[in-house]
Structure 1
Amino acid sequence: MASISRDEQNKTTCPIVETIKIIGTEARLLVLRYLFDGPKGFNQLLRETGLSSKTLSSTLKFMEEAGIVERRIVGTRPFKVEYALTSKGKELESIFKLMGQWGEKWVLNKN
């Protein structure tokens, strides 16, 4: 197997790095964690995540643009908005479960 120079590595897009760019903030991880349980309203996410309104709003907007969260209007009057994972977002759940298992084994148990 031919070796790749450091310059060539830097020019190559790494799928793991690109994924981390999308999901890799604490706010995004929290939102994903709670949306794995099903659709939620803004205020419910606000309470569950403990994020500020501004942070949650910008996080949800970013995640919508990335195609992992969708915003739905439910009902007619009063309008209610809920957020749900897209199929693209739902595929992240198995990764989160593995990360959780790793964290329990190596971080929480200090093995």
Structure 2
Amino acid sequence: MKWSDLSDNWCPVARTLSIVGDRWTLLILRDCFLGMSRFEQFIESSGMTRHILADRLKRLVESGILERKAYSTSPKRYDYVLTDKGQELAPALLTLRDWGKKHMPVRRATSA
């Protein structure tokens, strides 16, 4: 089953996952909540390829989660900012963060 097939599913979780249900999209949203808004910032923070980032940003803009705002006309450059709809995802991201802190702590090697 393709992600896009979930957009018509009866389950609201499945429909939501059709938009935000992959790691790259969640990392973009994380970065937006941390104050990032520019293409290069997302690349540097996440390590994803430019192609993947462009695809995910397009999907988030089309779904009304992010809005593109021009900050330069020559060359054309955009900020990607959370809409009100996007801001409503904050509790979900915070829950994922808190769960990760509790159940997947960073394991550091001990010094010998």
Tell me the TM-score normalised to structure 1 length. 0.78
Counterpart position of 2:38: 41
* 1:32 aligned residue (29, 38, 50): 29
- State the structure with bigger RCO (CA 8 A, min sep 6), 1 or 2: 1
CA distance in 1: counterparts of 2:101 and 2:34, whole angstroms = 20
Q: What runs of 5+ residues in structure 1 fail to find an aligned partner?
A: 1-10
2:91 maps to 1:91: no
Amino acid at match of 2:66: V
3-state SS of paired residue (2:104):
helix
How many percent of aligned residue pairs carry the same amino acid? 34
For 1:107, the equivalent position in structure 2 comes to: 104
Residue aligning to 1:5? none
Asked if 1:18 corresponds to 2:15, the answer is yes
Q: Deviations over 1:77-107 (max 9, x none)?
A: 4543111111111110111111221222233
Q: Secondary structure at the match of 2:34?
A: coil
TM-score (norm 2): 0.77
Larger CA Rg, structure 1 vs 2: 1
Partner amino acid, structure 2, of 1:48: S
Q: Distance in 2 between matches of 1:84 and 1:97?
A: 18
**How big is the alpha-carbon RMSD for the aligned residues of Structure 1 and Structure 2?**
2.1
Equivalence for 2:53: 56
| CA shift for structure 1 position 17 | 1.6
Alpha-carbon distance between aligned partners in 2 of 1:77 and 1:57, rounded to the nearest angstrom: 19
- 8 Å contact from structure 2 (residues 9, 15) kept in 1: no
What displacement does 1:12 show? 6.9
- Using the TM superposition, name which of 74-83 and 86-95 deviates more: 74-83
Cross-structure match for 1:74? 71
